[in-house]
A and B are shown apart, each in its own frame.
Chain A
Amino acid sequence: MLDFFKFFSKDQNKSKDIAKERLKLVLIHDRANISPKFLDMVKGDIIKVISNYMEIDESGFNIKLSRIAQDNDDYTSALIANIPIKRMKNLGKNNG
C-alpha cells in the first residue's frame, strides 16, 4: 500500500535520490579536501573585502562548492558565491 501512496506523491522524496544528492555534495568537499569550517573562513574574508565597496546582506550570503559540467562531459569543482547587495558605497568613483 505504501507504493500506492507514493504513486500519488510523484516520487519526489525517494530516499535513494536524497542519498545521491548528499553524497555528491559530501564528495565534492572530500575530494577538494575543503571542510565547511574552511569555507566559513573564506566567506569571512570575502565579506571583509567586499564590504569595502558595497553594503551586503550577510544573512543572505551563500557560498558553496559545487560541480559544474564541462564541455568534455567531465565535471570540475567550482566555488559559487551568492552575495546580495544592499547598496553600493559611494567611494572611489567620485572621490578618487
Chain B
Amino acid sequence: MGEVIVITSGKGGVGKTTTTANIGTALALTGRKVVLVDADIGLRNLDVVMGLENRIVYDLVDAVEGVCRLKQALIRDKRFEGLYLLPAAQTRDKNAVAPAQMQKLCDDLREHFDFILIDSPAGIEQGFKNAIAGADKAVVVTVPEVSAVRDADRIIGLLAAHEINEPQLIINRLRMDMVKRGDMMNIEDTIDILGIDLLGVVPDDESIIVSSNRGEPVVTEEKSLAGQAYRNIARRLLGEEVALINLETENSFLDKLRRMFSGKNNKRQ
C-alpha cells in the first residue's frame, strides 16, 4: 500500500510544483513507483515543469468522472523508470472534483504505487480541501519571507483541523548571502516560528529555473546544490537520516573579506 503525501503551502509561488516534481523524480530514481498528481485544477503546471505537456490525453477530472479508466489518464515518464503523472484538467475549475472523489482516487492509486505525491493549489478553499482529502501526511513548503511564513502557519492549522498531523517543513529558496547579512530569516528562525519538524532546506539556485525551462527536474543534475537538497529530502522521506547540506561554502574572495570585516556579526548563523 502506497503513501499519499500532499505538498502544500497556502501562498502561491513558493515552489510547490517544483518541489513535487523533484521529490517525485528523486524517489523514482531510488527504484520506487511514484505518481505525481496535479491537483491544481484549472491552473495545470506540473506537466510543463516535468516536460510532459505534449503527452496529455486524459486528465484527473476525466478519470474521476469515468470518462476514461484511471490507467489511461496516467502518463508514464519514459526518462525515469516507475514515474507517472496524473495531470490536472485545464479547462475545468476546482469545483469539478469533490473531496470524497479525491479520497477514492488516492485509495485507487495506493494499490499501484509506493508514493502518491499531490501538488496542492495555492489558497485554502475547495482546491486545497480536495488536495488534502486523501492524504496520509503533508509537506508544507515555504520561503523565508513574512507573507509565506504567515500563510504556512495558517495551512498548518488547517491541516491539523483536518486531522493531518505532524506536517513537515521545506524551507525553499534560502539565500545564504542574505542570511549571513541578517537580511533573511534563517532555518532556526523559521522553525522557531512555525514549530514543525524540518524535512529539508533548498537553497535558492538558478539551476531550478534553467531546468524548468528545459522541462527536466533539477534532481538529475549531480552538481546542482538544489538537486542535492531534493535528493536528500527524498532519502529522508524514505526514513534515512541525512544531514543538511552545508550551505555556508564561501564562494568568493569577497565573501572571505566580508567575513573578516564583520566576523562578529556572523557568529549567530
Residues A14 and B262 in contact, CB atoms below 8 Å apart? no
The answer to whether B182 has its CB under 8 Å from any CB of chain A is yes
**Given A14-B183, A20-B193, A23-B149: A6 in contact with B265 (beta carbons within 8 A):** yes
Chain A at the B interface: mostly helix, strand, loop or mixed? helix
**Given A16-B183, A16-B189, A24-B193: A7 in contact with B157 (beta carbons within 8 A):** no
Residue of A11, A14, A22 near B146 (CB, 8 A) is A22
The answer to whether B154 has its CB under 8 Å from any CB of chain A is yes
The answer to whether A38 has its CB under 8 Å from any CB of chain B is no
Residues A26 and B182 in contact, CB atoms below 8 Å apart? no
Residues B184 and A23 in contact, CB atoms below 8 Å apart? no
Q: Tell me the residues in window 50-82 of chain A with beta carbons closer than 8 Å to chain B beta carbons.
A: none
Min CB–CB distance B160 → chain A (angstroms): 11
The answer to whether A19 has its CB under 8 Å from any CB of chain B is yes
* Residues of chain B having any CB pair with chain A under 8 Å: 145-146, 149-150, 153-154, 157, 179, 181-186, 189, 192-193, 258, 261-262, 264-265
Residue of B146, B149, B183, B262 near A7 (CB, 8 A) is B262
* A19 surroundings in chain B (CB, below 8 A): 145-146, 185
Q: Number of contacting residues on A, CB 8 A?
A: 19
Cα–Cα, bound, A20→B146 (Å) = 8
Residues B265 and A27 in contact, CB atoms below 8 Å apart? no
* A14 surroundings in chain B (CB, below 8 A): 182-183
* B193 surroundings in chain A (CB, below 8 A): 20, 23-24, 27
Cα–Cα, bound, A16→B150 (Å) = 14
* B186 surroundings in chain A (CB, below 8 A): 16
Chain B at the A interface: mostly helix, strand, loop or mixed? helix
Residues A4 and B261 in contact, CB atoms below 8 Å apart? yes
* B157 surroundings in chain A (CB, below 8 A): 31
26 contacts between A and B (CB under 8 A): A3-B181, A3-B258, A3-B261, A3-B265, A6-B181, A6-B182, A6-B265, A7-B262, A7-B264, A11-B182, A14-B182, A15-B182, A16-B182, A16-B186, A16-B189, A17-B182, A19-B145, A20-B189, A20-B192, A22-B146, A23-B150, A23-B193, A26-B146, A26-B150, A30-B154, A31-B153
Residue of B145, B153, B185, B258 near A27 (CB, 8 A) is B153
**Given A16-B183, A23-B146, A30-B150: A6 in contact with B262 (beta carbons within 8 A):** yes
Residue of A7, A17, A20, A24 near B265 (CB, 8 A) is A7
Residues B185 and A16 in contact, CB atoms below 8 Å apart? yes
11 new A-B contacts, CB < 8 A, other than A4-B262, A15-B183, are A3-B258, A3-B261, A7-B264, A11-B265, A16-B185, A16-B189, A17-B182, A20-B192, A23-B146, A23-B149, A31-B153
Cα–Cα, bound, A27→B10 (Å) = 15
Residue of A2, A7, A22, A30 near B153 (CB, 8 A) is A30
Cα–Cα, bound, A6→B264 (Å) = 10
